[in-house]
Amino acid sequence: MKQDILLVGTGALATLFAVRLSEAGHSVSMLGTWKDGLASLKEKGARIVDSDGTERAFNVHATDDPREVSGAKHAIVLVKSWQTERVARQLKDVLAPDGLALTLQNGLGNRETLARDLGAGRVSLGITTTGATLLGPGLVKVGGEGILSLEQNQALGPLEAALRSSNFNLKIVPDARSLIWGKLVINAAINPLTALLRVPNGELLSHPLARKVMSALARETAEVAAAESVPLPFANPIEAVEDVARKTAKNISSMFQDVRRGAPTEIDAISGAVTKRGEEHGIPTPYNRACWQLVKAM
């Protein structure tokens, strides 16, 4: 059954989701604030460059006016963490009374922020490990195929079906916290370093000092996760991080993409969140703290 789906955001992942959902026949609207992105989406549609260089485009309804998408029953939140408070206020007016917002964002605290305005029953949690690189406004390339994991929620039914029909490798998990923290270990170890060194993910494995710092970041974040009583989805965090860096060697991390175009980063919700949670548990996180401060200083 075809669905009307609202994507909140106009960046790399939002564009990828717009392409795949549209290709499967679903009606897609995109709500955002990035003027160049909105202009391109309106004029040219959501576009993707395939591995063979072929470019494909799909029509979407793109707007910066929440009133144009009011009454939405299915919303997928794909904005940066620093935008979540604003989006929560918008969705309070936009989302239908029986609507559901699914957050697939990086970092900690996004579900809680959305739930404060929408109510816990109207927010669902998920995580994606698919990488996407924005080549230009409204134009995306897949940087590495991954898994879309959704926390079990009966209200997800129609949205889950729509995503399954849209070429996503989807699985349902009983508790997404483990995966959220697992991805946080990966993001905290890779994203700040790639942004600071201005290199693709795989380059971190080529330089002994970068590799050493990456391992320390992973270890610190895993220690904080253990203090939070969250089991990680892998036994060895350092091996997991190196495996991701290897598999996404050519990928430009989202934080590096942000720094490259002068946009705000998600460093507060990643390295900053690890540092603050570490303080609460009395766990020192000097490497995460240093990355947090250095990226903030850029």
| 4-173 fold | Rossmann fold (3.40.50)
Q: Find, among 166, 185, 184, the residue nearest to 7 by Cα.
A: 166
Residue 286's pLDDT is 98
Residue 207's pLDDT is 94
**Residue indicated by tokens 């929620």:** 153
The CATH architecture that domain 177-297 belongs to is: Orthogonal Bundle (1.10)
Q: Where are the domains of the chain?
A: 4-173, 177-297
Report d(CA 138, CA 88) in Å as an integer.
23
Contact 196, 291 (CB under 8 A): yes
Q: Compute CA distances 212 → 132, 204, 207, whole Å.
A: 26, 9, 9
DSSP state of 269: G
Residue 3's pLDDT is 78
In sequence order, the β-bridge partners of residue 57 are 47
Residue 1's pLDDT is 64
Residue 52's pLDDT is 85
Q: Find, among 114, 79, 110, 118, the residue nearest to 258 by Cα.
A: 79
Convert the pLDDT of each residue in 168-203 to its tens digit.
999 998 888 898 999 999 999 999 999 999 999 999
Residue 251's pLDDT is 84
Residue 232's pLDDT is 93
pLDDT tens for the chain, residues 1 to 298: 677 999 999 999 999 999 999 999 999 999 999 999 999 999 999 999 988 889 999 999 999 999 999 999 999 999 999 999 999 999 999 999 999 999 999 888 899 999 999 999 999 999 998 878 889 999 999 877 788 999 999 888 999 999 999 989 999 988 888 989 999 999 999 999 999 999 999 999 999 999 999 999 999 999 999 999 999 999 999 999 999 999 888 888 989 989 998 989 999 999 999 999 999 999 999 999 999 999 999 8
Q: Give the 3-state secondary structure of 93-143.
A: HHEEEEEEEEECCCCCCHHHHHHHHHCHHHEEEEEECCEEEEEECCEEEEE
pTM: 0.87
Report d(CA 31, CA 25) in Å as an integer.
19
Q: List, as one string, the DSSP characters of 233-259.
A: SSS-HHHHHHHHHHHTTT---HHHHHH
Contact 224, 231 (CB under 8 A): no
Convert the pLDDT of each residue in 142-176 to its tens digit.
877 788 999 999 888 999 999 999 989 999 988 88
Q: Find, among 113, 38, 100, 102, the residue nearest to 72 by Cα.
A: 100
Phi-psi region of 59 (alpha: psi -120 to 50; beta: other; left: phi over 0): beta
Residue 286 has a CB neighbour count (10 Å cut-off) of 11
DSSP state of 174: S
Which residues are within 8 A (CB) of 32 and not within 5 positions of it... i.e. 6 or more apart?
8, 9, 10, 14, 38, 62, 64, 79
Please give the positions annotated as active site.
Answer: 183
